[in-house]
A and B are shown apart, each in its own frame.
Chain A
Amino acid sequence: KAGVTQTPRYLIKTRGQQVTLSCSPISGHRSVSWYQQTPGQGLQFLFEYFSETQRNKGNFPGRFSGRQFSNSRSEMNVSTLELGDSALYLCASSPLLAGTSVDSEQFFGPGTRLTVL
Chain B
Amino acid sequence: GENVEQHPSTLSVQEGDSAVIKCTYSDSASNYFPWYKQELGKGPQLIIDIRSNVGEKKDQRIAVTLNKTAKHFSLHITETQPEDSAVYFCAANRNTGNQFYFGTGTSLTVIP
A binds B: yes
Interface residues on B, range: 20 to 34
**Which of A44, A55, A94, A100 is within 8 Å of B95, CB to CB?**
A100
Do A59 and B51 contact each other (CB < 8 Å), given the known contacts A33-B98, A106-B98, A108-B43? no
Q: Would B89 and A42 count as touching, CB distance under 8 A?
A: yes
- What's the least CB distance linking B49 to chain A, in Å? 7
Which of B14-22, B55-63, B99-107 is near enough to bind chain A? B99-107
Q: Which residues from A are CB-within-8-Å of B93? A: 98-99
Assembled-state Cα–Cα distance A111/B34 (Å): 19
Q: How many interface contacts (CB-CB < 8 Å) are there between A and B? A: 70
Assembled-state Cα–Cα distance A97/B94 (Å): 11
Interface residues on A, range: 20 to 34
Q: Does A75 contact B (CB under 8 A)?
A: no
Assembled-state Cα–Cα distance A48/B102 (Å): 15
Q: Does B112 contact A (CB under 8 A)?
A: no
- What's the least CB distance linking B52 to chain A, in Å? 10
Q: Does A28 contact B (CB under 8 A)?
A: no
Chain B residues engaging chain A, CB cutoff 8 angstroms: 1, 31-32, 34, 36, 41-46, 49, 51, 89, 91, 93, 95-105
